[in-house]
Amino acid sequence: MVMPAQPPETVQAYLRELRAALKGAPAGLIADALADCEDHLNNEIAQNPDQTEQQILAGVVETYGTPEEIAEEYRDMEIATVQTPFPQPEQNVNDRKFGFFNVVSDPRTYSALLYMLLSLATGIFYFTWTVTGIAMSLGFAILIIGIPFFLLFIASIRVLSHVEGRIVEALLGVRMPRRLPAGPAADEGIVSKIREAFTDLRTWSSMFYMLLMLPLGITYFVVGVVGLSLSLGVTAGCIYSLVTGESHIQISDAPYLEHFLHTAPGLVVLGLCGILLFFLVLHVARAIGWVHGKIAEGLLVRL
């Protein structure tokens, strides 16, 4: 094992080097690696009170490896253990030729649609929980229970952020942290806990995400439901009219168009428009899933 020229002398220095070595990896993987290493290093320090932090870190580097070696191990473990629900099959010439329609066979499309439909319920819950918690924290601020209540509220936001991260990873395929973010140590004073809660950027970005989920959830739900209902309804209506010979389409402002849509060619054209709209909605759903995954990663992952 090749020893570094100058081993890290503090836990924070070790973590900085590990973060730099993991540059380019998914943010969720970096967060898990940093949390695991910080816990391990702190446990080593607690178990060896007779040694200095520098001595302990030197032993850790010699026994477990440098930050660069640990980073490489985490990358290898991620490749070996990850089981993505969204495999990327090799595309042949025909797949590329009909790429617009291949969205129907992409599992990311339907998982994104499911997330869009669920986001209304989760958005309402997150928004209500956050607004209620902020309001009660401000109301209790003048009472002795104000500070404990606020710290409990912050802890609940972190738990909800973790739960949302698991949903995002399962449905949108974005690597999110798989362990709860570590809070302040139990032996820290109340002042340190309050300072950590106020100065942690992810506390506020997570709250912002919870508030943002209401308008996003409404938008996602409306786009998904209206898009699918309109496309499937138009297509099914045209098929029904062609089979039965009855068309009930009424367009008062465009009588010539209405007359055309009462004919077989017009119904075929309208039905094809409904089918194209269906595929367009699927593409929109997949795009929304990709964009929202980036939003969740940026606001919820704590590095």
* DSSP state letter for 25: S
What pLDDT, on a 0 to 100 scale, did the predictor assign at position 181?
Answer: 63
Q: What is the separation, in whole angstroms, between the first and last Cα of the chain?
A: 29
Amino acid at site 200: D
Residue 3, both tokens? 């020893």
What pLDDT, on a 0 to 100 scale, did the predictor assign at position 219?
Answer: 97
What pLDDT, on a 0 to 100 scale, did the predictor assign at position 38?
Answer: 84
| Rounded Cα–Cα distance for residues 201 and 178 (Å) | 20
pTM score, two decimals? 0.81
Contacts of residue 113, Cβ cutoff 8 Å, sequence gap at least 6: 224, 228, 282, 285
Sign, CA dihedral 102-108-110-116, equals negative
Give pLDDT tens digits for 99-117: 778 888 888 999 999 999 9
* Cβ atoms of residues 213 and 127 within 8 Å: yes
- Burial degree of 149 (CB within 10 A; 0-12, 13-18, 19+): middle
Q: What is the largest CA-CA distance in the chain?
A: 92
Residues of the chain with pLDDT under 70: 1-5, 80-98, 181-190, 193, 248, 250-260
- Give the residue carrying structure tokens 């943002």: 212
What pLDDT, on a 0 to 100 scale, did the predictor assign at position 294?
Answer: 94
| Rounded Cα–Cα distance for residues 194 and 20 (Å) | 29
Cβ atoms within 10 Å of 109's Cβ, excluding its own: 21
What pLDDT, on a 0 to 100 scale, did the predictor assign at position 228?
Answer: 94
